[in-house]
């Protein structure tokens, strides 16, 4: 696969990108050299702001025009310098010689054109002789090639009718439409679940191999790089700090920044720090048979949470894992009383808070705080950080009595933010810093339990590690109890005492960290674990992928809800709902008729090729 050919396909020399802001010149890329040989995949790795995306956008001329930014250096594609090409030549080359795949499949497809037509357009812009009908036929073939099941049935679909994973497949179809010799993928899986990420990486790998194309894979996640790349260039502050083969980088990283990134990578194969034993005590929070159903605007009832029971012991962390759409956020919102359940009870400190109102509810709000997923959306852009952190104190009417500004400074200090920054607006802070503000706000009233809804999912891997470290420390200092919700299994493994795995509104497996990670018995848990990118470039793709996507929650499959994606599925799975009980040969509850630690066999068909998304 790796071509050690003499002339690189893409050769970037001394690339400098400067942005001209009002406040001065920002040098985003500071003299980068990169080489991509034919058929080779280069991983470009770095944190947000390291210049990895900017350098690639600059290379294909997608940055804003001259007064806003200047690009210097040389970008040679097959010997032609892209930086000196006219707009017209560049346009002819984009799509035909370079296929781009962007990060966010939600925004990079046009919302008011049919998906098929968008794929067809990629063909039509480069071939005026092609008839519309032919282009559409080719588009359907392309969609089939990237694993969209029965695209001929989806001819009339618009992007909003497709899931994120499906849309990213469509993006890949567009990128490979003209058989370009070079693919550039900018964080192609960052917005996706692990299972879908594994599928997309697989599609990318096959697309690349079928075309024999070279690829540039831009990502902050070294795990993804280990899956796909041949060589790696690590970027920091606009410079390449290390460039080596992927095996060398993982086996013997040389630059300290590479080592930092590798250390920050949560991985399943690393021995874990022993967690403090949780004291025997009655649970502080109990969820009993909670069900949350709501009317779907498109008709039907979404059974977001369907009979979930959990309990949290004081001082422990319960990790709640599952794919998007499994109901974990709804469950979190139900616990903090943002959503009212249709059935079941939530008990806090032994008292039923499911219907608490007025004073009782205010008491609950003080003791049970929530940290939200998106640090950009969860802070009011018009309030200063100090005001945001003080808000719970003011609402509870104890701003003065708790010390006012002193308390705010103390809280900011607790989350390792400079107390002097209290007068600044959220827009002055980075994602990680904003999430610290969100944590400080949650801590303001000294709660006993924190519900953390994907608190680090939108952050860079290295920032994730810092925030998780902070959460861990706060838990020890303040004796907090956490419900830690995440779709990232390796992350949950780091911080949790016990783990609950959720699928389509139900808990399918529950146990201690060791039980769930070392002896998983539910096929879903096993598939999730298999989907985590392995930081071992030398043994990649020997795993079974979970096919398809989460089934339609308005019409869940009968019996076991996972059976449509399960390799072990048998006729009885469609009839009987498996209970969450401890089964023979296991030491923890699992909702599978065939629970066993043996991994599921290979699913029917090639992995990822036939997603039967509902």
Q: Which of 367, 391, 478, 613 binds other proteins (CB under 8 A)?
A: 391
Nearest-approach distance from CB 379 to other proteins, in angstroms: 6
- Contact call for residue 106 and other proteins (CB under 8 A): no
Do 348 and 356 contact (CB within 8 A), yes or no? no
Nearer to other proteins, 338 or 570 (CB): 338
Of 19, 37, 26, 32, residue with least CA distance to 235: 32
Nearest-approach distance from CB 390 to other proteins, in angstroms: 11
Q: Which of 21, 26, 251, 272 binds other proteins (CB under 8 A)?
A: 21
Nearer to other proteins, 372 or 503 (CB): 372
Q: Which stretch binds other proteins (CB under 8 A): 117-125, 241-249, 304-312, 391-399?
A: 391-399
Rounded Cα distance, 502 and 493, in Å: 15
Mask 277-316, x = binds other proteins (CB under 8 A)?
Answer: ----------------------------------------
Nearest-approach distance from CB 485 to other proteins, in angstroms: 14
Give the up-direction half-sphere exposure of residue 54: CA atoms within 13 A in the CB hemisphere: 28
- Contact call for residue 392 and other proteins (CB under 8 A): yes
Q: Which stretch binds other proteins (CB under 8 A): 75-83, 126-134, 334-342, 562-570?
A: 334-342
Q: What value does the CA radius of gyration of the chain take, rounded to a whole number of Å?
A: 25
Q: In what order do the strands lie in the sheet with 506-512?
A: 368-371, 449-453, 481-486, 317-321, 498-503, 506-512, 589-590, 581-582
Rounded Cα distance, 466 and 461, in Å: 9
- Contact call for residue 22 and other proteins (CB under 8 A): yes
Nearer to other proteins, 92 or 445 (CB): 445
Rounded Cα distance, 608 and 593, in Å: 25
Nearer to other proteins, 250 or 372 (CB): 372
Rounded Cα distance, 174 and 230, in Å: 24
Nearest-approach distance from CB 292 to other proteins, in angstroms: 15
187 dihedral zone (left: phi>0; alpha: psi -120 to 50; beta): left
Nearer to other proteins, 257 or 434 (CB): 434
Nearer to other proteins, 341 or 608 (CB): 341
Q: Which of 62, 251, 272, 338 binds other proteins (CB under 8 A)?
A: 338
In residues, how long is the chain? 614
> Quick one: tokens of 275?
């967690």
Nearer to other proteins, 68 or 113 (CB): 68
Q: Report the SS3 class of residue 236.
A: strand
Q: Which stretch binds other proteins (CB under 8 A): 34-42, 55-63, 93-101, 333-341?
A: 333-341
Do 483 and 502 contact (CB within 8 A), yes or no? no
Nearest-approach distance from CB 400 to other proteins, in angstroms: 17
> Which residues in 362-381 contact other proteins (CB under 8 A)?
362, 365-366, 369-370, 372-374, 377-381
CA distances from 466 to 166, 232, 342, 355, 361 (A): 32, 24, 38, 37, 33
Nearer to other proteins, 86 or 427 (CB): 427
C-alpha 9: how far from its chain's center? Answer: 31
Do 46 and 236 contact (CB within 8 A), yes or no? yes
> Which residues in 480-499 contact other proteins (CB under 8 A)?
none
Residue with tokens 């039967």: 612
The number of beta carbons lying within 10 Å of the beta carbon of residue 265 is 21
Nearer to other proteins, 429 or 503 (CB): 429
Nearer to other proteins, 219 or 458 (CB): 458
Phi, psi of 100 (to 5 degrees): -110, 140
Q: Which stretch binds other proteins (CB under 8 A): 388-396, 457-465, 559-567, 584-592?
A: 388-396
Residues in contact with other proteins, total (CB under 8 A)?
30
Nearer to other proteins, 182 or 483 (CB): 483
DSSP H or E segment with residue 318? strand 317-321
Nearer to other proteins, 3 or 425 (CB): 425
Do 524 and 508 contact (CB within 8 A), yes or no? yes
Nearest-approach distance from CB 475 to other proteins, in angstroms: 20
Write the DSSP symbol of residue 441.
H
Nearest-approach distance from CB 267 to other proteins, in angstroms: 30
Of 183, 184, 202, residue with least CA distance to 192: 202
Nearest-approach distance from CB 336 to other proteins, in angstroms: 5
Residue with tokens 């629970």: 595
Of 489, 419, 481, 422, residue with least CA distance to 454: 489
The number of helices, as runs of H, and strands, as runs of E, in the chain is 19, 22
> Which residues in 403-442 contact other proteins (CB under 8 A)?
425, 427, 438, 441
Q: Which stretch binds other proteins (CB under 8 A): 155-163, 357-365, 502-510, 591-599?
A: 357-365
Q: Report the SS3 class of residue 495.
A: helix
DSSP H or E segment with residue 183? strand 182-186
Nearer to other proteins, 23 or 86 (CB): 23
Do 348 and 364 contact (CB within 8 A), yes or no? yes
Planar angle of CA 257, 60, 64, nearest 5 degrees: 90
Mask 439-468, x = binds other proteins (CB under 8 A)?
Answer: --x---------------------------
Q: Which stretch binds other proteins (CB under 8 A): 116-124, 194-202, 243-251, 332-340?
A: 332-340
Contacting positions for other proteins (CB under 8 A) = 21-23, 336-338, 361-362, 365-366, 369-370, 372-374, 377-383, 391-392, 395-396, 425, 427, 438, 441
């Amino acid at each position: 696969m790796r071509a050690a050919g003499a002339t690189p396909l893409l050769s970037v020399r001394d690339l400098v990108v400067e942005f001209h802001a009002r406040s001065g010149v920002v040098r985003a890329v500071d003299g980068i050299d990169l080489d991509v040989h034919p058929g080779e995949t280069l991983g470009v790795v770095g944190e947000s702001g390291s210049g990895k995306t900017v350098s690639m956008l600059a290379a294909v001329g997608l940055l804003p025009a001259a007064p806003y930014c200047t690009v210097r250096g040389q970008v040679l594609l097959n010997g032609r310098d892209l930086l000196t090409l006219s707009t017209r030549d560049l346009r002819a080359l984009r799509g035909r010689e370079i296929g781009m795949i962007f990060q966010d499949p939600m925004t990079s497809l046009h919302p008011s054109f049919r998906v098929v037509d968008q794929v067809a357009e990629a063909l039509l812009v480069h071939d005026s002789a092609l008839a519309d009908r032919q282009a559409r036929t080719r588009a359907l073939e392309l969609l089939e090639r990237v694993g969209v099941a029965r695209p001929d049935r989806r001819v009339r679909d618009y992007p909003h009718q497709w899931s994120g994973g499906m849309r990213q497949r469509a993006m890949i179809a567009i990128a490979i439409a003209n058989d370009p010799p070079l693919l550039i993928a900018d964080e192609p899986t960052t917005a996706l679940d692990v299972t879908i990420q594994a599928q997309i990486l697989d599609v990318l790998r096959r697309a690349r191999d079928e075309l024999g194309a070279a690829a540039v894979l831009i990502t902050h996640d070294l795990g993804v790089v280990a899956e796909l790349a041949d060589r790696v260039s690590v970027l920091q502050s606009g410079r390449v700090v290390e460039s080596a083969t992927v095996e060398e980088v993982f086996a013997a990283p040389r630059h300290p920044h590479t080592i930092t990134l590798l250390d920050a990578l949560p991985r399943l194969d690393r021995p874990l720090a022993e967690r403090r034993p949780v004291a025997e005590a009655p649970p502080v929070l109990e969820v009993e048979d909670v069900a949350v159903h709501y009317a779907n605007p498109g008709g039907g009832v979404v059974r977001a949470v369907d009979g979930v029971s959990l309990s949290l012991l004081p001082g422990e962390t319960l990790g709640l894992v599952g794919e998007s759409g499994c109901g974990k956020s709804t469950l979190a919102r139900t616990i903090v009383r943002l959503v009212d359940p249709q059935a079941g009870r939530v008990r806090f400190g032994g008292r039923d808070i499911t219907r608490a109102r007025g004073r009782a509810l205010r008491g609950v709000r003080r003791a049970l705080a929530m940290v939200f997923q998106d640090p950009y959306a969860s802070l009011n852009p018009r309030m200063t950080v100090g005001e945001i952190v003080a808000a719970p104190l003011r609402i509870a009417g104890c701003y003065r009595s708790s010390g006012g500004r002193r308390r705010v400074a103390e809280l900011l200090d607790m989350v390792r933010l400079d107390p002097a920054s209290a007068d600044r607006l959220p827009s002055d802070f980075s994602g990680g810093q904003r999430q610290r503000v969100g944590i400080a706000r949650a801590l303001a009233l000294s709660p006993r339990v924190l519900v953390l809804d994907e608190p680090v999912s939108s952050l860079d891997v290295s920032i994730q590690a810092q925030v998780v470290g902070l959460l861990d420390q706060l838990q020890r200092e303040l004796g907090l109890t956490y419900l830690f919700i995440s779709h990232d299994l390796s992350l949950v493994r780091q911080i949790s005492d016990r783990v609950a795995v959720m699928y389509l509104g139900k808990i399918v497996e529950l146990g201690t960290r060791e039980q769930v990670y070392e002896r998983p018995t539910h096929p879903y848990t096993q598939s999730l674990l298999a989907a985590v990118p392995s930081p071992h470039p030398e043994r990649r793709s020997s795993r079974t992928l979970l096919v398809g996507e989460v089934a339609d929650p308005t019409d869940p499959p009968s019996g076991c809800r996972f059976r449509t994606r399960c390799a072990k599925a048998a006729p009885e799975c469609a009839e009987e709902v498996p209970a969450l009980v401890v089964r023979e040969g296991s030491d923890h509850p699992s909702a599978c008729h065939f629970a066993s630690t043996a991994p599921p066999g290979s699913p029917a068909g090639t992995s990822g090729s036939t997603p039967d998304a509902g």
